[in-house]
Chains A and B, each alone.
Chain A
Amino acid sequence: MRDLRGGLVRTSLALAVGALALTGCSEKQEASTTLPTPSATETTPELPPLGPADFPVPQEARAETPDGAVEFVRYYVALTKHLALNSADPTPLVDLSQDCRTCIRIAQSFEADLAAQYSYRDYEYEFDEYGPALINGDTAEVGFAYVQGPITAVDPAGQVVPDRSAATPQELRSGATLLWKDDVQSWVMTGLTVG
């Protein structure tokens, strides 16, 4: 019964759309003598995707604004969790940075996890920015409180790897420096200091 009613609704909609289209064709229209103004065709430009396909950099993090910089750092921190929980290639952490040593170290640690076939069972954190980013030209500074834990890494046998885990949540006062890259219309991380 439900299927039949759905079919009727679809049929009615198709008829209505068809009737509207025919009405539009039958009325006389004067030819336009002017070109459409640019505003008539303007749409929000779609930025090329950036970051992992299944976890791209969100649009709000791709604005050269104080809030955009904060959102980028928020995304970057979330990306570490995403990569950890999915045992994914950590290269995006490096790709979304420039001369950021801590970023490289974090990626190297994840790479070592993959090589050792460790996976993450828990990866909890809280991110609280101290306020909007400070913008200076094409650079930005973001201060944030980062509470990390619990993080639980396990080996292929399911045993917890203590060296790669953090059982207790810990607040780490942190900061990040960013650089705006025009070519990709995004921030990149140039410095990350956690704790």
Chain B
Amino acid sequence: MRRLAITLCVLAAWIVVNASVAQACVGLDCDDPVVTTGQGALTAAYLEQGPGGSGVASNSPPPNHPYTYRLSHPCVVDDRENGGCRASDFRECPAPPDRVVEDLVPEQRRLALPGPDVDGDGNPDGGTVTTDGFPTDGAPVGTPVGPWIVGARGCIDITALNPPPSPAEVFRYFQTLPLPELVTQHQPPGDGLTGLPVIFYTDSPTTQTFTVDIRGFQVVIQATAEQFTWHTGDPTGQIVTTDPGQPYPDQTIEHDYRTGTYTAHLTVTWGATFTVNGSTAADVPGTTTTDGPPVTFDVRQARTVLTNPYD
């Protein structure tokens, strides 16, 4: 479920949401989209299509390749056409670590190609043509002609296009970063006493900055501890806070124990923002957690003893 939520967040960041009403068609003529494609679209000069909609995109087409391509995320296309994304728009593609493979909708557009060599002198002299006879209206060779034609959605390898790291890709890196494991501090130091709440806090750093290289792009990830889960070690389970706590007398996190020996530790949920080559910061679409080292302490029963102050 968390995975789905993360993915939804990832892809929500890809789209430009300006429309909310599905566009109607009169006959076969459907309204033009009212939203721009946004970051989700890539252009490619060549798309080598494989089975099941899979493909490999590049900017190295064979000579006189008849199409140019646009690759959009299904969510972008859906948003463009229907005013919103659907759950089915979100799908992950398996990819080796060194490849970028995204679930994309390819669209292709005809290119004007050299016309036939009528007089046989080796030079085309028949104007320009398209691969299926669609009229070019005299457009020069290489000019895109006619409408975009939507193809079958599939997992397309876009590594050769070297797109800037997507939020999803940054998130994958984020999950591998050596985030700090925050140490649980407790008061009173040493053993606790029943009836005297144990104070928890951490004084470990709660932010950390990482600079990573992702396919040649400099990505700065600023990680921040967003949630603290204090595992108390007794049957009450855990205390969840959004602050790291403070030592006495400014404590914010306390817990009452019965007599016994307890082992507590702190799980921290980390969120992050990132920039690519100095761009505006964007949220990393997901969180990751670290577990701090356990601390063990006794909680003892204090017994009242009458003493003679004059002794």
Report which A residues bind B (CB closer than 8 A): 77, 80, 84, 98-102, 105-106, 108-109, 112, 123, 125, 130-131, 133-134, 139, 141-143, 146, 148-149, 151, 163-166, 170, 172-177, 179, 190-195
Answer whether residue B26 sits at the interface, using C-beta atoms and an 8 A cutoff.
yes
Cβ–Cβ contact B132 & A192, under 8 A:
no
Sample (29) of A-B pairs whose CB atoms are under 8 Å apart? A101-B150, A105-B25, A105-B82, A106-B25, A106-B28, A108-B22, A109-B30, A125-B28, A133-B132, A141-B132, A143-B133, A143-B134, A143-B146, A148-B28, A151-B27, A166-B27, A172-B28, A172-B29, A173-B134, A173-B135, A173-B147, A174-B147, A175-B146, A177-B149, A177-B150, A191-B149, A191-B151, A192-B28, A194-B28
Report which B residues bind A (CB closer than 8 A): 22-30, 77-78, 81-82, 130-135, 146-153
Closest Cβ neighbor of B66 among chain A residues: A134
Question: What is the CB-to-nearest-CB distance from A103 to chain B, in angstroms, rounded to a whole number?
Answer: 9
Cβ–Cβ contact B132 & A146, under 8 A:
no
Question: What is the CB-to-nearest-CB distance from A20 to chain B, in angstroms, rounded to a whole number?
Answer: 56
Cβ–Cβ contact B147 & A102, under 8 A:
no
Given A131-B133, A175-B147, are A148 and B27 neighbors across the interface (CB < 8 Å)?
yes
Cβ–Cβ contact A175 & B81, under 8 A:
no
Closest Cβ neighbor of B147 among chain A residues: A193
Cβ–Cβ contact A131 & B132, under 8 A:
yes
Question: What is the CB-to-nearest-CB distance from B152 to chain A, in angstroms, rounded to a whole number?
Answer: 5
> What's the A-B contact tally at a CB cutoff of 8 Å?
111
A residues near B150, Cβ cutoff 8 Å: 100-102, 177, 190-193
Given A105-B23, A174-B147, A191-B151, are A80 and B28 neighbors across the interface (CB < 8 Å)?
yes
Besides A105-B30, A175-B134, 18 new A-B residue pairs in contact (Cβ under 8 A), listed by A number: A77-B28, A99-B152, A105-B81, A106-B30, A108-B22, A109-B24, A109-B30, A112-B24, A123-B27, A131-B133, A134-B132, A141-B132, A143-B133, A143-B134, A163-B24, A170-B29, A177-B152, A193-B147
Cβ–Cβ contact A134 & B131, under 8 A:
yes
Cβ–Cβ contact A101 & B24, under 8 A:
no
Question: What is the CB-to-nearest-CB distance from B262 to chain A, in angstroms, rounded to a whole number?
Answer: 57
8 Å CB contact of B22 from A105, A149, A176: A105
Cβ–Cβ contact A165 & B133, under 8 A:
no
Most chain A CB atoms below 10 A, which of B29, B81, B131: B29
Cβ–Cβ contact B81 & A193, under 8 A:
no
Question: What is the CB-to-nearest-CB distance from A2 to chain B, in angstroms, rounded to a whole number?
Answer: 49
Closest Cβ neighbor of A170 among chain B residues: B29
B residues near A190, Cβ cutoff 8 Å: 150-152
Question: What is the CB-to-nearest-CB distance from A78 to chain B, in angstroms, rounded to a whole number?
Answer: 11
A109 to B81, CA, bound (A): 13
Question: What is the CB-to-nearest-CB distance from B181 to chain A, in angstroms, rounded to a whole number?
Answer: 46
A residues near B149, Cβ cutoff 8 Å: 141, 175-177, 191, 193
Given A80-B27, A166-B26, A190-B152, are A173 and B132 neighbors across the interface (CB < 8 Å)?
no
Question: What is the CB-to-nearest-CB distance from A29 to chain B, in angstroms, rounded to a whole number?
Answer: 56
Per CB-CB distance, the 8 closest pairs between chain A and chain B, nearest first, are: A130-B133, A191-B150, A143-B132, A109-B25, A193-B147, A194-B28, A131-B133, A175-B149
Question: What is the CB-to-nearest-CB distance from A165 to chain B, in angstroms, rounded to a whole number?
Answer: 7
Question: What is the CB-to-nearest-CB distance from A95 to chain B, in angstroms, rounded to a whole number?
Answer: 17
B residues near A193, Cβ cutoff 8 Å: 147-150
Question: What is the CB-to-nearest-CB distance from B41 to chain A, in angstroms, rounded to a whole number?
Answer: 15
A41 to B166, CA, bound (A): 62
A179 to B150, CA, bound (A): 13
Closest Cβ neighbor of B31 among chain A residues: A105
Cβ–Cβ contact B134 & A130, under 8 A:
yes
Cβ–Cβ contact A148 & B29, under 8 A:
yes
B residues near A170, Cβ cutoff 8 Å: 29
B residues near A148, Cβ cutoff 8 Å: 26-29
B residues near A133, Cβ cutoff 8 Å: 132
Cβ–Cβ contact A166 & B134, under 8 A:
no
A residues near B130, Cβ cutoff 8 Å: 143
A63 to B190, CA, bound (A): 84
Closest Cβ neighbor of B152 among chain A residues: A190
A181 to B77, CA, bound (A): 25
